[in-house]
Amino acid sequence: MKKQFCLATLAVALSVNAQTLSSPDGQLSVTVGCDNGIANYMVVLGNDTVVRKSPLGIKTNMGDFSKGMKLTGSTQPQSVSESYTLPNAKKQNISYTANEATWMFNNEKDKPAFSVTFHVDNNNVAFKYDVKAQGDRRSCIVTEESTFYTFAQDTKTFLCPQMTPQTGFARTAPSYETFYEYDAEMGKDGWGRGYTFPALFKVTSNTLSNKKGQGESYIWVMLSETNIGGNYCASRIVSADTQSYRIAYPEQSEFGGVGSTAPGLMLAGANGEIPHAETPWRTITVGRTLAPIAETTIQWDLVKPQYEASKEYKYGRSAWSWIIRMDASCNYDEQKEYVDFAAAMGWEYLLVDAFWDSNIGYDRIEQLSKYAQSKGVGLFLWYNSNGYWNDAPQGPRGKMHRMIDRRKEMAWMQKAGIKGIKVDFVGSDKQQTMQMYEDILADANDYGIMVIYHGCTLQRGWERMYPNFVSCEAVRASENLSFGQHDNDIEALAATIHPVLRNAVGNMDFGGSALNKHYSKDNKRGKTRVTSDVYALATAILFQTPVQNFALAPNNLDDAPAWAIDFMKAVPVTWKDMKFIDGYPGQYVALERMTGSKHYVAAVNAADNAYVKEINVPANVKEVTLYSDDANLNGSVKQVKVKKGKVKVTVPKNGGAVIVY
Ligand code: CA
């Protein structure tokens, strides 16, 4: 890992009223200024204004720095670059080159108030605030942030409404589990409390819309944030007016009403750099296609590992009884049946879900773990996160929220050979909660335990910050396919947005790829799957997380097509690289993932018309394996000759296609 700084040769305007920082390729730029005492910024791609002039500012218990500001200067742009590896994310070998500069603002008394550092690479703009100590202060409370994102009025939005705190199952909301709005108008505010990150906007291009042959006529913009553990709260965006969204902090009623909505912030003071003395990075990913968004690594470029991995974590495929058989399946005999199923699939893990403490017990979990290990299968155990913030009755309860109890539990896990935990029902973005997420990860690493979070916030850079982090749910996931038919009816529609939005910013524990026709043990009752078997295979590729809890069931060894089972036996869950191919959220999506030796191209379609696409393959590939559906969603697999470097796929509504070579 190396980080290099060198002076760049960028031209900088001499005036301090407004200055521009450009990306290395010169196409993407941010202009920072100050008008009428309000700091502001603007993002431009080519000749298109992407984010219009929008306020910057911060309100603290030391002073209100959202007005009365004066821009006093900026640093010379610096080129920053770095290469690093991530074994647990969508890309393994990552490198970036960007330009950075910092703008300084004084308050009404003409004393330093804050600075804003911008980081601009060819597809991302990111910024963070450094609040300046006032007098002897070495800490402050940030009561409000005046960070705005202003777009043209005709911009379309793809947003996920923030849930109402202390609602949902057993007061476990918010947990990023609502339906996205697609192609919606600006000015909406979700359920009255804004939207979760990541947030997607489609901005009409001023320069290209009327000229043919110059590429897309709109620009995709994704807003998110990164580098948040216990150092800050997580944020959302709320509607400020018909053209603007602004950063909002958590609501008081989150986390059972316990804990502050306002983050506390260390101040660097005169002693120079202090870790976490700045706000998190807010990120703006920009592209004329969705490729820069689906492929972005900005969430990891701007963070650092917070501790060393205590061992080499091994990722893999996982069986999971709960999604098909629910709570009743959490007994020794059925979990043993699922161990045998995981072993038959050649999978590495089994996730034992809620109520194992009462239905199986600690002694027999040790037995189950021993049995599983003899079959080459490791166990993940479910835990209720709660202490004092929700009413979820599922056990084990009260084991994760306090360090002393947690470490005792993890010492037992280590002895019993448990490989990971899934911690559920958190329901808050407060700083106190973010600290708990971080603390559980740090303690788990001491005992060699991997961590999946459910009913939770969105991770913000965690794949790189915490090496034993596997994934967050933070999506309306497969459990809803078991709970309601509507989720099944729009399953494919929802799947078209995740690879280019939610999953673009981090690993996603969706728990999908069911091959049952019905969500029940006998596969006759329960909610009905309307997607095809090839769709199930395609989403195993499209949805990425390094420990995938697949919804396959033991009966699928007999009742699912042999080609589907064989595919799922061999399916990878760790990848060297990925590439966006095509897509429009709400209609269809196609992308490619690579293991190093194998390429998988996967597509699904939610539109009424079949999705037809010529997929490019390298010149040396003469033949590929193609999994595809006919018009009636009957799947099959065949070897297909490559014609002129292309393979044609046709994907009917609710169907899928996968190319392997
Ligand atoms: Ca959930």
Pairwise CA distance, residues 618 & 661, whole Å: 10
State both tokens at 5. Answer: 């700084």
Ligand 1 centre to CA of 453 (Å) is 9
Say which residue the tokens 């403490």 belong to. 357
Ligand 1 centre to CA of 619 (Å) is 44
Q: What's the CATH fold of domain 2-301?
A: Beta-galactosidase; Chain A, domain 5 (2.70.98)
| Range list for CATH 3.20.20.70 in the chain | 316-572
* Amino acid 8: pLDDT: 39
Ligand 1 centre to CA of 384 (Å) is 12
Pinpoint the alpha helices (H) of 424-475.
431-446, 462-465
* Amino acid 206: pLDDT: 78
- The pTM of the full predicted model, rounded to 2 decimals, is 0.96
Class at the top of the CATH hierarchy for domain 316-572 = alpha beta
Strands 469-472 and 349-352: unpaired
Contacts 24+ apart (CB under 8 A), 620-625: 621/661, 623/661, 624/659, 624/660, 624/661, 625/659, 625/660, 625/661
Ligand 1 centre to CA of 455 (Å) is 4
At position 397, the amino acid (one-letter code) is R
Ligand 1 centre to CA of 324 (Å) is 15
Residue-wise pLDDT for 612-647, tens only, equals 999 999 999 999 999 999 999 999 999 999 999 999
Name 196's bridge partners: 160
* Amino acid 207: pLDDT: 72
Report whether the peptide linkage leading into residue 292 is cis, meaning its omega lies within 30 degrees of zero: no
Ligand 1 centre to CA of 52 (Å) is 36
Report whether the peptide linkage leading into residue 174 is cis, meaning its omega lies within 30 degrees of zero: yes
* Amino acid 126: pLDDT: 98
- The segments of the chain whose pLDDT lies below 70 read 1-17, 208-216, 269-273
Rg (CA), the chain: 25
Report yes or no: 268 and 133 within 8 Å, Cβ to Cβ: yes
Pairwise CA distance, residues 359 & 521, whole Å: 18
* Amino acid 275: pLDDT: 72
Q: Taking the CB of residue 93, how many other CB atoms lie within 10 A of it?
A: 10
Strands 349-352 and 316-320: parallel
Ligand 1 centre to CA of 507 (Å) is 15
Pairwise CA distance, residues 549 & 365, whole Å: 19
- The sign of the dihedral angle between the CA atoms of 603, 604, 606, 607 is positive
Ligand 1 centre to CA of 383 (Å) is 13
Find the angle CA(127)-CA(129)-CA(134) to the nearest 5 degrees: 165
Pairwise CA distance, residues 297 & 95, whole Å: 9
Helix (H) or strand (E) holding 338, with range, is helix 332-345
Pairwise CA distance, residues 234 & 178, whole Å: 18
3-state secondary structure of 415: helix
Ligand 1 centre to CA of 389 (Å) is 16
Residue-wise pLDDT for 340-379, tens only, equals 999 999 999 999 999 999 999 999 999 999 999 999 999 9
| Range list for CATH 2.70.98.10 in the chain | 2-301
Ligand 1 centre to CA of 509 (Å) is 9
At position 478, the amino acid (one-letter code) is S
The sheet carrying 577-584 orders its strands as 577-584, 588-594, 599-605, 656-660, 623-629, 635-641
* Amino acid 250: pLDDT: 98
Ligand 1 centre to CA of 527 (Å) is 17
